[in-house]
Every structure is written in structure tokens, then in C-alpha cells.
Structure 1
Amino acid sequence: MRTGKQYLESLQDGRQVYVGGELIDDVTTHPKTSGYAKAIAEYYDLHLAPEHQDVLTFVDDDGVRKSMHWFLPRTKADAARRRAYHEFWFRHFKGGIFTRPPAGMNVVMYAQIDDPEPWEENAIVADGRKIPFADNIRAQWARVTTDDVALSPMFVDVQYDRGRDDALGETPMLSITEQNDKGIVVRGWKAMGTSLPFVNELLVGNLWRPGQTSDQTVYAIIPVDTPGLSLVCRQSNATPDADPYDHPLSTIGDELDGMAYFDDVFIPWENVQHIGNPDHAKWYPQRQFDWVHIETQIRHAVHAELIVGLALLLTNALGTNNNPIVQSQLADLVRFRETCKAFTIAAEETGFTTAGGLYKPNNIYVDLGRAHYLEGIHNAVNQLIEFCGRGVVMSPTLADFDHPFLGPRLEEALRGTSISARDRVAIFRQISERYLTQWGARHEMFEKFNGTPLYLVRLLTMQRTEYQVDGPLTDLARQVLGFGDTAALAARAAEVEKNSNWASVLYQPEYAREQDVRDGYYKAAEKV
């Protein structure tokens, strides 16, 4: 396992990082980036702390102690252990203000190392070359886990003309411009990645869309300091010079999202995982990000818990906590938190074993749990803000409290029920920065579009289970209605579904279906 010092040194490699149009010479020292870099350095150091060893690390089959962010779960107990690990970090990072530490990004490789063979078998390589992509994936996994490499997945492509399928071929997204005996050359954009300036390597792939071409189908690992690679990040919302009392979150740092431009970048074959087959890419985006969404669901439950805690402290400070209406509203927040947690536990309890032997929490409950959070988080936050009233707007600064004339008068005017004025205002300032600033709004937008937006979560859920007229979920209804053979109805529906760009799980290859929960969602296999 690496130390925080080693991590920071690994970022000082001459990488091309632009933040708000400014070229950052050293992300570990520049005011726009140093805060987050130091926070992740602490992340690595805490893995080495003896008091956290049982939660943050594991011993692999070779007797080597490693970070839990490389832990491959094989049992239900392993899944619960991973949950405890992620909960630790989301609590450590103030209720999940940093959404993508290494623990939330390295897992994108889980689906590949679980079953690497299809990535080779379905590849389409020019000139009949035989590239051992499956062995590449195994060797890459061995290297990144041994060296404790920080990865960031980049799968999203630039928004172009989404009104027609054939426009994707014109999009300046990452594409292969050359294949030779040593590797491939790529040019173009990947449109979205998180924590880009703070990782060692990018894991590029595809979120498939209709019209994707063979040259645009690329999965590979690329070091951030590779010649020709530029990272273009949004403006930083960090406030390193502010007082933490006034800005309790943005003073810690900003994890930064960004785009990446590849200017004729060479990628050796050993760093490539798959190329050339859009149909292969079609089945994998959601399945590959399932492992990210598992930890996302855990973060949602922790964030919901934070909202409940803030609401209880706030209403107590204001003396409104015994009001029957307020108690009912608090109960709604508690119910929201408990339901988020229930989805997480249900996913673990009803998980399944993948083709490669991993124990994977039930992907349906993971997705439906994420949908529940996205549907309810706005109401929860708005309720919290309503509890604040004008106090969330009129919150004195630390300088106001320290003023010799104003300070004592503010202390008297703003003290609450069994709480000092400074502590009461600290609650307001936490809520304000978390939910009512540009720094906080970025987190709201991240959760809204993390991996897949709400409508796509719903759509993909329908496509990964046999929710059809002749599927298992209509058995009871057809029995109650006295329906007999529905073969004709099913046949017509099947023809339409099979020809759809977003074909259901019925028409997807078996190697892809192996990554989905089956019991209760797939029909039982027919006996031969």
C-alpha cells in the first residue's frame, strides 16, 4: 500500500492539467487543486493506520495486505465488509462530499477481471492481429493492485447531435486513427471524468449509444502523463484561503470534473482491453458501473443519515422539534433514510454469484434504491432548508462573532435552545454551503447524472429483467385472469423488442446476462 507522500509524489509527473483555463504546474501545491490532493493523501495514510486496519485493509491470497478498494467479494459477508469500508469513507469525508475517492473508481475494473474472456473473444482487430486482451486485463489488474494505482473511469462522450443515430460517427469523440503491431493511436475527446487531476491512470471505455462506430469502441488504461493527453477541468470551487467556520466544506477542496483530449496518443497493446465491437460495448456500460453504483447507494444512505441528523439538531436549536407538524416532517426524513439503507441491505441479502465467482449485490435493488434516492432527495433537502427559515441566509461570519462590539450582541441574539449562537450558526452554515452554493450545487448535479440519470436508471432496469408479458412477473396476473397461452401476444412483443436499439435482456448474450441477478427476474431455464 502506498503512503500519502508517495501518492502526492506520483502526481508530480508533468501532466497537462487545465483548471478554468489555467495550466496547473503542480496539482499538489496549486491553490485550486492542493486541498483535494492532500485529502486523498490522507485517504492513503489512513489505510496504514493500525487502528483502522480491520476496516480499511485485507490480506490477499498471497498473504499481502492491501487496501479494501481492491477487495473482490466472494460471499455475502464480503459484501457487508465492503459496505463497512465505504461507509467509513463517506463518514470521514463529511457525509460524502467527495463522491469519487479511489474506492469509488477502482471498482470499474471488477466486471472485466471477473470475466475477461468476452473482451477478447468479441474484439475486432485490424489485419487479423491476435491480441490477448483477456491476459492484458489480468496483467493490468495485477499491476494496478500491486502498485496501488489511482484510476478514474472515462466513459461518457461529448454531446453532439443526439437527434439522429448516424451523427455519432461525426462526433469528435475518442477514436482509433491507427492500428499497428505495437498498439493503437487515438484522437478525440472523452467528455466526463471525476478527480482527473488526482489519479495516475485513466480507464477509458464507452457508454454505448446507437450509431457508435468500430473505431470509437475503445477500452484501455492510459497513464495521465502520456504525451498528447490534456485534462481540461471545470473551474475550481475550492476556497483555500477562507476560514473553515465560514466555509466548512469548500476549504477542504474540490474533487474537480473534467474532459480529456487525446492528440494522437499512442496506447501500447498491453494497455488495451478491447477494441472494435460496438455490439460488445452495448451490453456492458451499466454492468461495468454496477460496482460503482453499489458504493453510490451506500453513499446515498449515509447522506440521508446526515440530513436527518442536521434536521434533528437544527429543530432542537430552534425549539421547533416538539411541534406536531415538525415531528411529522422529521419522520418523513427518517423514513427516507431508512428506505435508502433498506435497499442497500436488501441488495446484499439477495445478491448472486457471477461467472467469475464474485458475490454481487442484487443489481435490481441497487438501481431501484438509487432511483428512490434521486426521486426523494430534493424533497428532503428542501425540507431541511425550510426548517432553517431565514437563518440559513442571515448567518454571521466568524469575523462578525469576533468583533468586539457586534460579537457579544450576536451571541445574545442568536443563541438557541441549549446551544450557543456560534454552534447554532454553524448548523446554518453547513446547510448553506452544502446545498445553497455553487460548490454544493456541483454535488447535486453529480448525483443527478452519476453513471446514469433517473430516466435511464428506470429504462435499464426494465431491460435487465424479463419484465415481459410472458415473463415471471406476469405469472400470477395471468393465473388470476385465467389467461392461457400468450404465445401470439408474446411473439409480437418479442419481434418489436428484438429489433430495438435498447433490446431487453432476452436478446442479450449469455456472457452479459451473467452479470445480472436472475432469481425472480429471469425465467427458469427449460429442461432438455
Structure 2
Amino acid sequence: MLRTGEEYKDSIRDNREVYMNGERVKDVTAHPMFKPLVDIRARIYDMAHDPKTADVMVDHDGTEKNAIGNALPYTQEDWWAKRRSTDAVMEDIGGVVTRVGDETVGEMWSLYDGQDMLNEVDPQFSKNIETHIHKVLKEDPFHVSANTDPKGDRSLAPQDQDPDMLLHVVKETDAGLIVRGAKYETAAAYANQAFTKPTIANWGNDTLSDYAVGFICDLGSPGLKFLCRGGFAGTRADDRDYPLAARFDEVDTIVIFDNVLIPWENVLFYRHTKAAAFIRNTLHRYSAFAFVQRTLKQADQMIGSALFNVRQTGLDKQPAVQEKLADLAIWREGINAHLTASIALGERSPAGLMMPNQSLLMAGRCHALNNLSPMMHIARELCGGQICVTPNAATFDAPETKPWMDKYYSINENWVADDRRKLLAYARDLLNSDYAGHRLTFQLFAQSPPFAQSAAVYRNFDWDGPLNFVKKGAFLSDNVMAGIEQKTGDGSVEQYYSQPLLKAAE
């Protein structure tokens, strides 16, 4: 089914135990720090019913309609449809949000690809993941993904400190598993369910562990407590001074699992560290696409803000300014190129899904994130010092000060003081505010820390092509390739470059 925005809001009015700044929240749909994002998520649901946007939001397979974000990708066109849908959402709401569901449901598809491995552990777990993937299609929940634990002392094993520092199973019952611990998850307080899984990267020689557990958590379950970071929305004297923070702040939450029952049908793997390691290595093979696409929209925000600022004063005619604008454009188009190529050279996954080309997608993610901070600094420079010294909106309104603001902030009949104020406030909130700093850090870690993102590139790049090319060019003996798995046949240049094309064609 395709839910409406009001049906979504009703689904999270379930008396869940949510705390903001130490106070219990009665209704997350009405609280000023949650309401802007709840309304955005509701709007996304309603876009599937709006005649103006339904075509780009709905997947129709001939028998039923589903949200495109939830639909399993089988072809390259499926990925183009997802990309058009995400762009339509960001254009409709006028900003960028990261946690609205379509970028997290793909993590379940990664486990779907691991069904053979899950069958080795327990065939029931493989059946559970398939059931839940189709349940997402049928019920259209707001689905998020819980990964990060409090961790505690990371030099110690979990069992050598407070065991609750990492989420773990404390008891098995006929009804399911009882779990304790905590997870950080953006948007959990106003979502329906979370794919919850471990973050331990090194299991040592352990094959079994109570910390190796993954499941679908109903976020209305008894025993859950949501302790939220204080939001930026609803805290300003005038939202006009912080137009992005007031509308697009996504509230982060530490979710406390206080002996929570996870029914067996919601358990996706348990105790087997092999399954836990698999999901950590493949977690973002699909979801990275939506994440990188959102960074592309952030690039558009920065370019638009910087370009408006230099054009209003004529600085865009200067070569030095054009060079910096070109730097932003090169970064932006690099992201665009990686996204486009990852679709064009898509690969067939173990479960038969169409997977974005992994080497190109993961390299694109590193390109987008590694350059985000320096590109923000270039945008700041192009916007100029006025983004940090301009008075607030009230000064532009007050009778005693308005004439002076009109005099010094108006440039010509096209750029009057109020429009300049709006642009400078937008640029400040995008690049300079506490919200901007929060977003920068969030982007840096939202899909694992930088070293892990680089590791994903290392795991997915085809190293054999360059090795074989140099081997032939340097007339090296066959012995130098001993022990190296061959992926490109005879290593010819033609085959090296045509191999991804062949995969895509298949």
C-alpha cells in the first residue's frame, strides 16, 4: 500500500517514551523540534498521491503500486527512477534531508544478497529477511537503520566492561530474543522500524557471540526509550535568520533497549559472527547511492549560494572568482559522474538485483565526502564576510533601523535589501552556523568513518587489471601473479575495460 502523510503521523502516535532535553514528549508530530521533519516525511508520503508528483514517486509493476524508494532494483532503469524520485523530493521540499527511509532500506537488500550465507547459519533467518523486504513494500513504513553503539572503552572486549555498552542478547525465549544496550539512530523517535545490527569490525577468532545479532525493531516496542539531541528547530527567535535549521534539522537519538523483546520472525541473524561481518562489509552497496546523491544536492546548494553572491556584485567577471566557481563545479560534476557511471556499469548481485557498480559508487562516495569540507570553505570565501556580520531579520524590520539596512544592503532594483538578507541568512545557515557544523560532521560519519569508506574502495576496486597490464608491459614472469585471484582473464587492455560493460549488459 501507499500510505498518506496523515497515516504516517498516526502510526507514530503510539505512546513511545521519547525525551527531549530531559522532558517527556507527548506527541512527536507536534513538538516544535520534531514537527518540521515529521511534516517533511508526511509530505513525501503525500507526494505519492499528488497528481503532480505521483508518476515520479510510485512504482507500478502492473499488479500493485509501491513507493519507488522501497522497490527492489532489478534494472538500470530502476536506479534512474530512484534517482528521479529523490531529486523530486529534494526539489519539492526545497532542501536536503538524509534520513527519510529510501537511503536506509537498501541495507536490507545487502542482507538479501547474503541468503546463501544465512542458510548456512539458519534457513529461518534467510526466510525472515525476504519476508521483511516484501513487508516494507506492502506496508510502506518509515524505515531507519541503527548502527552505532556507545562503545565504551574500545581497548577492551565488550565482556570486559559494562556489557550493555554494545547491544547484546541477554535471554532466549519461545517468543524471541531479549536484548539490552543502546544504539544511536537519526530519526528513530519519529520512524516506524529500524534495521538494528552490530558495529564490531573485529571478531577475532570468535565464531559465536551474543553481540552478533541483527534484527528488525518495531520502534513502538515496550522497553524502548528515545533520548534525543536537542534540535535546532523551534529554538530561534526568528526562523528567518536560520531558514535551513528551522526546516531541515534531523533529530538524532540514543535508543535505549531495556530488555526489549525481538520476536523470532524479526531476527535476521543471531550469534554467528560470519553473518555480522558480512553485513558490515556489504552494508552500503545499495544505500550509498542515495547518500551520495544527497551530497550532490548539497553541492547544488553551495554553488547556488556562492554564485548568487558573486553575481549580485559583479564579481563573477573576475578570473580568480571563476576559478573557485569552477572548483565547486568540478567537485559537483565528479559526484554526478560517479553516480551516473555506477548505474551505466551496474552489476548483477548474488540475489539477482541490479547493484550500482561498487568500485565507482564507493570511489564516488569518497570523492564527495573527502572534498566536502574544502568545498564548503571555497563557498564561504565566495559568499564573503557578510555572511558572518549581517544583522538578523529584526534589524531589517524595525522602523528605526530599516532605512539604514535598505540603504546599505540594496545594490540595485533587482537586488533589494530584503532579498540580500534572505540570501545571506541562507548561506550562513548552510556554511557557517552551528547547524552547518553539525551537518558537516554528520556527513563525515553518516555512512561509517572515512577509513572505512576508503576500505570499501579497496575491497571493490579491480586490482588485477592494472597488475596484469604492468605484468605484460614489463615482461614479468607468471610467478609474480602467484596467489593473486584473477578477475580479468588474460589481462588484456580491451578485456580490462570491457569487463564492466559485459557485466552491465548481462
TM-score, L = length of structure 2? 0.90
Cα deviation, 1:415-437, whole Å, max 9, x if unaligned, reads 13541111112111111112222
Q: CA deviation at 1:465?
A: 4.0
Give the conservation status (yes or no) of the 8 Å contact 1:307–1:381: yes
Q: CA deviation at 1:296?
A: 0.9
Q: CA deviation at 1:118?
A: 2.6
Cα deviation, 1:280-300, whole Å, max 9, x if unaligned, reads 211222422222111011111
Aligned counterpart in structure 2 of residue 438 of structure 1, from 418, 434, 439: 434
Give the conservation status (yes or no) of the 8 Å contact 2:284–2:447: yes
SS of alignment partner, residue 187 of structure 1: strand
Give the conservation status (yes or no) of the 8 Å contact 1:319–1:416: no
Structure 2 CA distance for partners of 1:209 and 1:114, relative to 1, 3 Å: closer
What is the 5 A alignment of 1:419-430?
419-430=415-426
Q: CA deviation at 1:490?
A: 4.8
| In structure 2, C-alpha distance between the alignment counterparts of 1:362 and 1:252, rounded to whole Å | 34
| In structure 1, C-alpha distance between the alignment counterparts of 2:160 and 2:55, rounded to whole Å | 49
SS of alignment partner, residue 215 of structure 1: strand
Structure 2 CA distance for partners of 1:289 and 1:116, relative to 1, 3 Å: same
Q: CA deviation at 1:67?
A: 1.1
Corresponding letter in the other structure for 1:460: A
Q: CA deviation at 1:90?
A: 2.8
Cα deviation, 1:454-492, whole Å, max 9, x if unaligned, reads 22211232123453xxx33201112222210235x855x
Residue 83 of structure 2 aligns with which residue?
83
SS of alignment partner, residue 102 of structure 1: coil
Corresponding letter in the other structure for 1:202: A
Give the conservation status (yes or no) of the 8 Å contact 1:217–1:278: yes
Residue 259 of structure 1 aligns with which residue?
254
Q: Provide structure 2 residue ranges, at least 5 long, that are not aligned to the other structure.
A: 487-496
Residue 199 of structure 1 aligns with which residue?
191
Q: CA deviation at 1:343?
A: 0.8
Residue 373 of structure 1 aligns with which residue?
368
Residue 94 of structure 2 aligns with which residue?
94
Corresponding letter in the other structure for 1:186: V
What is the 5 A alignment of 1:52-131?
52-60=53-61, 63-96=63-96, 98-123=97-122
Q: CA deviation at 1:242?
A: 4.2
1:227 aligns to 2:222 (yes or no):
yes
RMSD: 2.4
* More divergent stretch after superposition (336-345 vs 209-218): 209-218
Q: CA deviation at 1:269?
A: 0.6
Residue 161 of structure 1 aligns with which residue?
153
Aligned counterpart in structure 2 of residue 409 of structure 1, from 385, 404, 417: 404
Structure 2 CA distance for partners of 1:319 and 1:335, relative to 1, 3 Å: same
Residue 452 of structure 2 aligns with which residue?
456
| In structure 1, C-alpha distance between the alignment counterparts of 2:498 and 2:197, rounded to whole Å | 30
Q: CA deviation at 1:169?
A: 6.0
Residue 492 of structure 2 aligns with which residue?
none
| In structure 1, C-alpha distance between the alignment counterparts of 2:134 and 2:318, rounded to whole Å | 58
Cα deviation, 1:384-419, whole Å, max 9, x if unaligned, reads 111232211122322212222321221121113541
* More divergent stretch after superposition (242-251 vs 214-223): 242-251
Cα deviation, 1:5-32, whole Å, max 9, x if unaligned, reads 1111111101111223222121111222
Cα deviation, 1:86-125, whole Å, max 9, x if unaligned, reads 12223334341x21112222222222345534324224xx
Give the conservation status (yes or no) of the 8 Å contact 1:243–1:251: no
Q: Provide structure 1 residue ranges, at least 5 long, that are not aligned to the other structure.
A: 124-130, 495-505, 508-517
Cα deviation, 1:178-235, whole Å, max 9, x if unaligned, reads 1233211111122x21111110112111234213761011111111121111122211
Residue identity (%):
25
Give the conservation status (yes or no) of the 8 Å contact 2:71–2:137: no
| In structure 2, C-alpha distance between the alignment counterparts of 1:233 and 1:364, rounded to whole Å | 36
Structure 2 CA distance for partners of 1:169 and 1:218, relative to 1, 3 Å: farther
Residue 181 of structure 1 aligns with which residue?
174
